[in-house]
Amino acid sequence: MTRITVTVDGVSYSDDVEPRTLLVHYLRETLGKTGTVVGCDTSSCGACTVHLDGDSVKSCAVLAVQADGSSVTTIEGLAQDGVLHPMQQAFHENHGLQCGYCTPGMIMSACALLKDNPDPSDREIREGIEGNLCRCTGYQNIVKSISAAAKASSSTPAGVA
């Protein structure tokens, strides 16, 4: 067992974890952050994507101990004071989800994408979310959502986190 201290969605946690524990399992099972989900066992689907110190990572490809001392943002920490993040709002308004299973990871990836490239073309969006699989939407409305969020944040000073 190894002691780790991690800030998740603004709250600090200290826990003993088995060294082999994946970050996604720590989030889901120890902290009850079940908004982040698991879709595969080969780091292929992106369903588990979270932000680790501001960068998007597949939390099934990171050990919990690697997150020691870091700050993690999950889908559950994105909305502030009950106000949806512009990316969440854009997914809702553009029907960017159906079953919603890929959605947390997709939204977290999309936020990271816009951080790197605030005004992406549709092609760049498609390339940018390459690591996130969706079986329901055919991606068209996801691309539309991300594009809309980019436009919304370029026209508001708040920007995209």
Residues that bind another protein (CB under 8 A): 18, 28-29, 32-42, 44-45, 47, 74-76, 78-79, 84, 88, 91-93, 95, 97-104, 107, 122-123, 125-127, 129-143
Q: What is the DSSP letter of 63?
A: B
138 binds ligand FES (CB under 6 A): no
- Shortest Å distance, C-beta 160 to ligand FES: 21
Reading the block at residue 56, the tokens are 């998007």
User: Which of 45, 157 has the CB closer to ligand FES?
Assistant: 45
Residue 60 in contact with ligand FES, rule: CB under 6 A: yes
Please return the burial class of 14, using the count of CB atoms within 10 Å of its CB with bins 0-12, 13-18 and 19+. exposed
User: Is residue 45 within the footprint of ligand FES (CB under 6 A)?
Assistant: yes
Beta bridge partners of 6: 13
CB neighbour burial string for 22-47, b if at least 16 within 10 angstroms, e if fewer: bbbbbbbebbebebbbbbeeeeebbb
Does residue number 146 form part of the binding site for ligand FES (CB under 6 A)?
Answer: no
Nearer to ligand FES, 40 or 79 (CB): 40
Give CA angle at 109 (152, 75), nearest 5°.
85
State the DSSP code for 83: B
Site residues for ligand FES per CB under 6 A: 38-40, 43-48, 58, 60, 97-103, 134-137
